[in-house]
A and B are shown apart, each in its own frame.
Chain A
Amino acid sequence: MSKYKLFLLRHGEGAWNKENRFCSWVDQKLSEDGLKEAKDCGRLLKEQGYKFDLVFTSLLSRSIQTAWLVLEAMGQEWVPVIKSWRLNERHYGSLIGLNRAEMAKEHGEEQVKVWRRSYNVTPPPIEESHPYFLEIYNDRRYTTCDVPKENLPRAESLKEVLDRLLPYWDSTVVPEIKQGRTVLISAHGNSCRALLKHLEGISDKDIASVTLPTGIPVLLELDENLKAVKPRQLLGDQVKIQAAIKKVEDQGKAIPST
């Protein structure tokens, strides 16, 4: 029996999505299309009469922007928004900034497949010589985290994403849900997938084929132990949802990361 409702949202398009490049911890804002996706999502949630009590986002602007636009469309700007690095997109290490073709060229198609599809293989860490190293690690937001900056990841497998997300989920999000608060998590492709894996009990093997479309709110109904009682529901017009799924699949051939 469903006791709680939880909403997940993967933010929409940023500039690099269009170029099929791994954005990861680089702090890009939403593109015009991404802004529209967020507004449409908000409109849909408003039409369906949902009322949020609390929103969680990552520290990356695109997830925060998305949350703000959703709340604005719903007239719920007053709802508290809590931000944490633990909801950040998966850290892609040295692959950050590369597009699919560049990656395949540098490392070979097979290796790229392994990094993207495996659950626990970590890409090579980002080095100081990487063009985006300073942009990420000199950013002041990473001095405000609950771990010292030098302990923040330099690369992550999907498993490692869940390893740093789960404690936050347990200590900070779960108590709110258990108090009956309707929560929206506005995050990223891989942080959403990691959480889904945990809530739906998806195997290490099966998670590779799970993709969330962008800008489509996902409703999870949870029991009193916060386990999913039924399959996740993608909300909205079915035609639109199918188009969104296809878009993500085309970008990376069923690869979820952006």
Chain B
Amino acid sequence: MAAYKLVLIRHGESCWNQENRFCGWFDADLSDTGEHEAKRGGQALKDAGYEFDICYTSVLKRAIRTLWFVLDSIDQMWLPVHRTWRLNERHYGGLTGLNKAETAAIHGEAQVKIWRRSFDIPPPCMDEGHDFYQSISKDRRYSDLTEDQLPSCESLKDTIARALPFWNEEIVPQIKEGKRVLIAAHGNSLRGIVKHLEGMSEEAIMELNLPTGIPIVYELDKNLKPLGPMQFLGDEETVKKAMEAVAAQGKAKK
């Protein structure tokens, strides 16, 4: 029997996803599709009768709004919500705003491949001349971050390194107190939690793409070890598709 249940949800399509642009810390909003995905995710949790005690999300609107749609669907808008930059999406540095074609044109296909396949090589940094430097690095929401904390670019390793302290210091104690936790965040920050929970290798986590807008459920023992693989919530068709998509991603080795 599971001691604890944890639910994660990765936000759906953003306006920049539609344009195939590296989003990272740019505060893109959900597209109509993304809103629909969030509502559908909320409906899945409602149908399954989930109750939560506390919610966590990033400081980016695409994750926050996803959480809001979910809380509205399950009639638990009154739940406490903690927002943290540590659950933000990976910071794509100088690539922020570029689409796939532009990136390849500027940096060459080979370099892009290296970045894609590396766990610890960061993209080029976002410097003061970057289009989004002011709107991201100087944004009021990051005013409490120290110079060391505020990234100008991140590898996946960096993202995980700043997400896990929050998981360990803030979220884990709540779970151990018996609080039922819902985390609405991003592909890479959630990868950090999943990698940690399942003890996955760097290669394995890079191969894993979490489905969007679908509640991901972990049953955990009292030491917070998963009792089984992640479960997806939703109608049969949606869940089947999500499971197949995950299974088809590379050859994940633990």
Contact = CB atoms under 8 A, between A and B. Distances in A.
B77 A64 contact: yes
B27 A61 contact: no
A83 B55 CA distance: 13
A83 B80 contact: yes
Given A64-B77, A78-B141, A140 B61 contact: no
What range describes how many residues of A lie at the interface?
10 to 19
B83 A80 contact: yes
Interface in A67-93: 68, 72, 75, 77-78, 80-83
B64 interface: yes
A144 B52 CA distance: 12
Nearest to B68: A68
A141 interface: yes
A65 B77 contact: yes
Contacts of A75: 27, 61
A51 interface: yes
Interface residues of B, number: 19
A81 B64 CA distance: 12
Contacts of A83: 78, 80
Contact of A51 (B27, B59, B75, B140): B140
Given A68-B68, A140-B51, A81 B81 contact: yes
B61 A77 contact: yes
Nearest to B60: A78
A72 B66 CA distance: 12
Contact of B78 (A64, A72, A77, A80): A64
Contacts of B60: 78
B78 A59 contact: yes
B65 interface: yes
Contacts of B59: 78
Contacts of B68: 68
Contacts of B65: 72, 77
B14 to A, nearest CB: 13
A72 B69 CA distance: 13
B234 to A, nearest CB: 24
A141 B59 CA distance: 25
B83 A78 contact: yes
A65 B77 CA distance: 8
Nearest to A139: B78
A61 B77 CA distance: 6
Interface in B46-60: 51, 53, 59-60
Contacts of A60: 78
A64 B76 CA distance: 11
Interface string A47-68: 0000100000001110011001
Contacts of A64: 77-78
Given A51-B140, A140-B51, A78 B64 contact: yes
A77 B30 CA distance: 13
A144 B51 CA distance: 13
Given A51-B140, A68-B68, A140-B51, A78 B61 contact: yes
Nearest to B142: A78
A65 B73 CA distance: 12
A63 to B, nearest CB: 9
Given A61-B78, A72-B65, A82-B80, 13 more contacts: A61-B75, A61-B77, A64-B77, A64-B78, A65-B72, A65-B77, A75-B61, A77-B65, A78-B60, A80-B82, A81-B81, A141-B78, A144-B53
8 contacts: A51-B140, A77-B61, A77-B64, A80-B82, A80-B83, A82-B80, A83-B78, A144-B53
Interface of B: 27, 51, 53, 59-61, 64-65, 68, 72, 75, 77-78, 80-83, 140-141
